[in-house]
Structure 1
Amino acid sequence: MMGVSIPGLASGLQTDTLIAKLMSIEKIPYNNLQVKKTNIDNNKSVFNNINLKLKTLRDAATSLSDLDSFKINGGTSSDPSKVAVTVGDNAISGNYTIKVSKLAKPHVVAMNAISVLGSDGKDASFDTDTYKDTIIDVNGKEIKFSDLDLKDKTTNEALAEIAKAINKSDAGVQASVIQTEPGKKSLVLTAKESGEDHKITTSVTGAGSALFTIDGNAGQSAQNAELTINGVKITSSSNTIKDAVPGMTFQLLAEDSTVNVEVKQDVDKIASKIDAFVKAYNEIIDIIKENTKKITNEKDSDGNYKDFKTNLQGDSLLRDLKNELYGIVSGVGAKNNGEGFQLLSQIGIEIDKGATTAATMTGKITFDKELFKEKMAENSAAVEELFRGDNGLGTIAKERLKDWTSVNGLIKMKMDGYESEISFINDQMENMNARLILKEEALNKKFTAMEVALTKLQNEQNWMTSQLNSLTKSKS
């Protein structure tokens, strides 16, 4: 809001300051709307945060209620340096004896060593003209020397170019140049995949066929892995054995070795799912508590109330949500005719554990992981019932939180209401700002007119004074 004024030319008044003070009074309703908008926006942010946390909580509940939530298994190898094991969630519990007789090996083909030094001991030149018609075929991919940049190359450089071309040919091999003895190097081809199904086929035509010949005494034959799992014979082109046992992967690392692999329920992984639920639950309780606590008169160094963040102290939806969360946990119970465990507290999950007074109650969950593991070992099926049963924690939470977290859920409706209020206030502020601009312009015009009028009067007064002075002088 800006205007043009002539400050105090005639009146001596600081009209700019006076107008600013008058406008500050006029702007009080506008500023009040700004404060209201800020408060509403803060409240909306709180509910948006709660909405995200509730979705996390519902995801954690869903994870606890699904069919595989308590079928998580882990596996251990008696000697991971010989056979390592990775276990998926659908692995079957049991003990497995793995006997490895052979490891899978890739086919390696080595060509006869070629002299790379001349009689003078210096790098020998590659005879491009002699070998220009040479073609090396590797697994059906032809490498034509005529297509390569071999002109004026040393033998060392030519071998490197040939190996580079083979690697670019997508022949399924890795070509390299290896020094076999001082002054001699060999072109070596190694299959990228192990096993008998990935043998390398090679042929050389043209003048280079005499130079690039296979060294029958070098290289390595392709070999499949051979092993038994609980006496069942298995062969594989790879040392990574997948799904020979459902949900398990074995990595073979040593021949002529025997290891035992034990697969059992992984209680730590199950406990981590409960940890995720407890963490999300407690974070929501903290948010509710922080934004509904009683406001005190204590101020910080900037003069702001320390406790004042939002005006949600009496918000009914937050109160209902807190009651809903408490009801979810307290409503858990097993339908197992009195056998096994009936309450979450029996397996280490409890609200306000140890609290004896209202002042010490937080509404938050504690999770005794060691007690949970103990009860899992005692009766895992009964523990599972408290999470996956009809009245289980995961089942109840997943269903009852649906009304809070859905697209048209209670929290979303609350945020939409705030958004509508903010939009209405924005319209009010825009209209009010337009009126304030007009008001300030009117004040500037009035004070400017006043200064002009005063200036005119002062000029007239000065003229009359000068006339009177002239008359007085003439009479004297």
Structure 2
Amino acid sequence: MGMRISGLASGMDIDTIVKDLMKVERMKVDKLSQKKQIIEWQRDLYRELNTELQNFDTFLRDGVGMSKTFNAKIVTSSDSTKVTAVSSGSTTNISTRVEVGNLATATTWQSDSSINYAYTGADITTTTWDFASKTIGTDLTLSYQVTDPGGEVRNSVTVDLKKGDTIDSVISKINSSNLGVSAMKESILVDGTVDPPTYEERVVFSNKLTGSGASIVSNDETTTDFMQSLGFSGAATSGEIVTDLAYRNNGEDATVKIDGFQLQKASNTFTINNITYTLHNKTAIDEAITISSSTDTDAVFDSVIKFMDKYNELIDKVNGKLNEEVYRSYKPLTNEEREALSEKEIELWEEKAKSGILRNDSIFSKGINQLRQANFSRVDAPDIGIFTNLSEIGIVTSKNYRDGGKLVLDPNVTGTDRLTGEQRLRKAIETDPNAIYKLFMSGADEKETDRRGIARRMRDTIKSTIDDVVKKAGNQFRVNNQFTLGRELDDVDNRVSSYERRLIQVEDRYYRQFTAMEKAIQQANQQASYIMQQFGGGV
């Protein structure tokens, strides 16, 4: 690009003239940039609504799509100080009699003498404890064979100790290891007649699990020596750490009768037929605790209402975009226009400019219509229960057309039983909550829509809608050339780049033309000046 001459001869503001001329030329680029902005807004709104669909799909899966939602139970005990229970998915109501013979207890091992901080171990050259500081004198790896209650053997369970560890840090490492015990140091009164009284520090291991059959065996001499230094004097390699029954409390299994059947359980908490029982105390002879369950109508009712609310929220958001007003006079702002406005003015302008971008969108219009059909078409699945339509459990479509197909409880008293929608829903829950679950989730293996439950239909529609949106607007995992709007964005970018290059050439041409004009004017001025000089010289 040559040197530019800006109006020295003509007195014209060439830069301003060229800038104004370029504004006209840049209008095409501005229109392309506005088109790009609209496509980006479109893409973002598609993805935003796709997220709403995905969230609702997850809600369906974890809500009305789960049998436990409709199997919520209220479980009561005639004496909660002895036995309590909770339902974990039972489909039927129960009334059982529970008699508790024994509670399950955990095995405990107690040292028979105090901690010997002067213990040197089998190898006289290696001091297990440093007596002066009461810390371990060397790194140690303890190795045990552990048998859990019930007889499951775990070999080579290790605990790593470091030189300088105190008894408290040793106990902490044992507690946090895979040994399966809770260790503690306790002070035992030895002589209370002296002042001050004398105590011994002893160590107690308690199995973290209740039940019979637990044991801890030293695997090697290092472990045996260390256990002896902790006061377990009977510890021997390949032998139990406590052999004297005076210092060992063998764990026991719980014994319990459920409706007359004798059971033995390693834990005081156990599950039978999806009812989880917890034993707290023994029952007296001939005493039985009654555990009863009944449908938690309020919990199931709330779950169905929550489904309706979430569905209505989705309908609101999608219909809001489908019916949004279009403000055709509000175009995306150019950079120059943005510079002339405040942040608030930009925000208000873009709110209008974005409005209506997805108005009457075919993908979401189709999806919403299919969701409505999914709700109110009869379910003809082979495994359907006594309810085949939402209206049978009191749920209908709002008669207010502005609601766009929202679900509501029928406000009218209908049917032979003359019940409102809420009353019909509660009665349905009390009659057969599992049949409501089947209304939503029957037909798992069916391919035809009318043979699939309502939630399955809805999830099918959501999946197909999400797939269509991804093809059009992509997602975070797709690059532009993998979806329609992305390809449009790339095309606009290419056209903008091409036109920007052309604008450089046009601007350069304008300057060359004005430079030529300036040179011509300057030459004409020089000639006129020369002529005037000639005429003046001849006078």
Q: Does 1:114 align with 2:107?
A: no
> What displacement does 1:55 show?
4.7
Which of residues 175, 178, 181 is equivalent to 2:186?
178
Please say if residues 63 and 307 of structure 2, whose CA atoms lie closer than 8 Å, have aligned partners that are also in contact: no
Q: Which amino acid aligns with 2:367?
A: L
Q: Give aligned pairs, total.
A: 443
Please say if residues 370 and 461 of structure 2, whose CA atoms lie closer than 8 Å, have aligned partners that are also in contact: no
Q: Which amino acid aligns with 1:43?
A: Q
Which of residues 471, 490, 493 is equivalent to 1:423?
490
User: Separation in 2 of the partners of 1:47 and 1:206?
Assistant: 68
Q: Which residue of 2 aligns with 1:99?
A: 99
Deviations 1:30-69 (A, max 9, x none): 2112222222332333333444444555566667886947
> SS in structure 2 opposite 1:406?
helix
Please say if residues 71 and 434 of structure 2, whose CA atoms lie closer than 8 Å, have aligned partners that are also in contact: no
User: Separation in 1 of the partners of 2:227 and 2:406?
Assistant: 84
> What displacement does 1:238 show?
2.1
TM-aligned CA distance change 1:14 to 1:349, over 3 Å: farther
Q: Does 1:350 align with 2:396?
A: yes
Which of residues 335, 342, 356 is equivalent to 1:310?
356
TM-aligned CA distance change 1:272 to 1:381, over 3 Å: closer
Please, what is the CA RMSD of the aligned residues?
A: 4.6
> SS in structure 2 opposite 1:375?
helix
> What displacement does 1:132 show?
0.9
Please say if residues 102 and 226 of structure 1, whose CA atoms lie closer than 8 Å, have aligned partners that are also in contact: yes
TM-aligned CA distance change 1:180 to 1:446, over 3 Å: farther
Q: Does 1:187 align with 2:200?
A: no
* Structure 1, 307-316 or 398-407: larger mean CA deviation: 398-407
Q: Does 1:38 align with 2:65?
A: no
Q: Which residue of 2 aligns with 1:260?
A: 290
Counting aligned pairs with the same residue, the percent is 20
> SS in structure 1 opposite 2:98?
strand
User: Separation in 1 of the partners of 2:227 and 2:211?
Assistant: 33
Which of residues 382, 398, 407 is equivalent to 1:365?
407
User: Separation in 2 of the partners of 1:295 and 1:210?
Assistant: 82
Q: Which residue of 1 aligns with 2:502?
A: 435
User: Separation in 2 of the partners of 1:145 and 1:219?
Assistant: 32
Please say if residues 5 and 16 of structure 1, whose CA atoms lie closer than 8 Å, have aligned partners that are also in contact: no
Q: Which amino acid aligns with 1:422?
A: L
User: Separation in 1 of the partners of 2:9 and 2:395?
Assistant: 82
> What displacement does 1:92 show?
4.7
Q: Which amino acid aligns with 1:247?
A: N
Q: Which residue of 2 aligns with 1:295?
A: 326
> What displacement does 1:26 show?
0.9
Q: Which residue of 1 aligns with 2:142?
A: none
Q: Which residue of 1 aligns with 2:139?
A: none
User: Separation in 2 of the partners of 1:197 and 1:467?
Assistant: 131
Please say if residues 50 and 466 of structure 2, whose CA atoms lie closer than 8 Å, have aligned partners that are also in contact: no
Q: Which amino acid aligns with 1:424?
A: D
User: Separation in 2 of the partners of 1:37 and 1:64?
Assistant: 40
User: Separation in 2 of the partners of 1:4 and 1:109?
Assistant: 98
Please say if residues 334 and 386 of structure 1, whose CA atoms lie closer than 8 Å, have aligned partners that are also in contact: no
Q: Does 1:132 align with 2:159?
A: no
Please say if residues 322 and 361 of structure 2, whose CA atoms lie closer than 8 Å, have aligned partners that are also in contact: no
Please say if residues 196 and 237 of structure 1, whose CA atoms lie closer than 8 Å, have aligned partners that are also in contact: yes
Q: Which residue of 2 aligns with 1:150?
A: 130
> SS in structure 2 opposite 1:197?
coil
Deviations 1:428-449 (A, max 9, x none): 2222222122222333444445
Please say if residues 325 and 356 of structure 2, whose CA atoms lie closer than 8 Å, have aligned partners that are also in contact: no
Alignment of 1:426-465 (within 5 A): 426-451=493-518, 454=521
> What displacement does 1:81 show?
5.4
Alignment of 1:55-74 (within 5 A): 55-57=54-56, 68=67, 72-74=71-73
Q: Does 1:246 align with 2:273?
A: yes
> SS in structure 2 opposite 1:304?
helix
> What displacement does 1:351 show?
1.5
Please say if residues 293 and 313 of structure 1, whose CA atoms lie closer than 8 Å, have aligned partners that are also in contact: yes
* Structure 1, 62-71 or 165-174: larger mean CA deviation: 62-71
Q: Which residue of 2 aligns with 1:139?
A: none
User: Separation in 1 of the partners of 2:76 and 2:3?
Assistant: 86
Structure 2 stretches lacking a partner, 5+ long: 137-164, 190-196, 234-241, 331-343, 410-420, 444-448, 474-482
> SS in structure 2 opposite 1:275?
helix
Structure 1 stretches lacking a partner, 5+ long: 117-125, 136-143
> SS in structure 1 opposite 2:267?
coil
Q: Which residue of 2 aligns with 1:406?
A: 464
By relative contact order (CA 8 Å, sep 6+), the higher-ranking structure is 1
Please say if residues 102 and 282 of structure 2, whose CA atoms lie closer than 8 Å, have aligned partners that are also in contact: yes
User: Separation in 1 of the partners of 2:534 and 2:300?
Assistant: 107
Q: Which residue of 2 aligns with 1:24?
A: 23
Please say if residues 315 and 406 of structure 2, whose CA atoms lie closer than 8 Å, have aligned partners that are also in contact: no
> What displacement does 1:173 show?
3.1
User: Separation in 1 of the partners of 2:230 and 2:510?
Assistant: 106
Q: Which amino acid aligns with 2:269?
A: T
Please say if residues 199 and 222 of structure 1, whose CA atoms lie closer than 8 Å, have aligned partners that are also in contact: no
Please say if residues 37 and 422 of structure 1, whose CA atoms lie closer than 8 Å, have aligned partners that are also in contact: yes
Q: Which residue of 2 aligns with 1:140?
A: none
User: Separation in 1 of the partners of 2:13 and 2:168?
Assistant: 89
Which of residues 261, 286, 308 is equivalent to 1:232?
261
Q: Which residue of 1 aligns with 2:236?
A: none
Please say if residues 5 and 518 of structure 2, whose CA atoms lie closer than 8 Å, have aligned partners that are also in contact: yes
> SS in structure 2 opposite 1:37?
helix
User: Separation in 1 of the partners of 2:533 and 2:82?
Assistant: 120
Please say if residues 65 and 440 of structure 2, whose CA atoms lie closer than 8 Å, have aligned partners that are also in contact: no
Alignment of 1:271-286 (within 5 A): 272=303, 275-276=306-307, 278-280=309-311, 282-286=313-317
User: Separation in 2 of the partners of 1:220 and 1:73?
Assistant: 40
Q: Which amino acid aligns with 1:231?
A: G
User: Separation in 1 of the partners of 2:425 and 2:198?
Assistant: 69
Please say if residues 113 and 186 of structure 1, whose CA atoms lie closer than 8 Å, have aligned partners that are also in contact: yes
User: Separation in 2 of the partners of 1:394 and 1:31?
Assistant: 51
TM-aligned CA distance change 1:62 to 1:447, over 3 Å: same
TM-score by length of 1: 0.73
TM-aligned CA distance change 1:250 to 1:467, over 3 Å: farther
Please say if residues 97 and 260 of structure 1, whose CA atoms lie closer than 8 Å, have aligned partners that are also in contact: yes
TM-aligned CA distance change 1:270 to 1:216, over 3 Å: same
> What displacement does 1:340 show?
6.6
Please say if residues 57 and 459 of structure 2, whose CA atoms lie closer than 8 Å, have aligned partners that are also in contact: yes
Please say if residues 54 and 284 of structure 1, whose CA atoms lie closer than 8 Å, have aligned partners that are also in contact: no
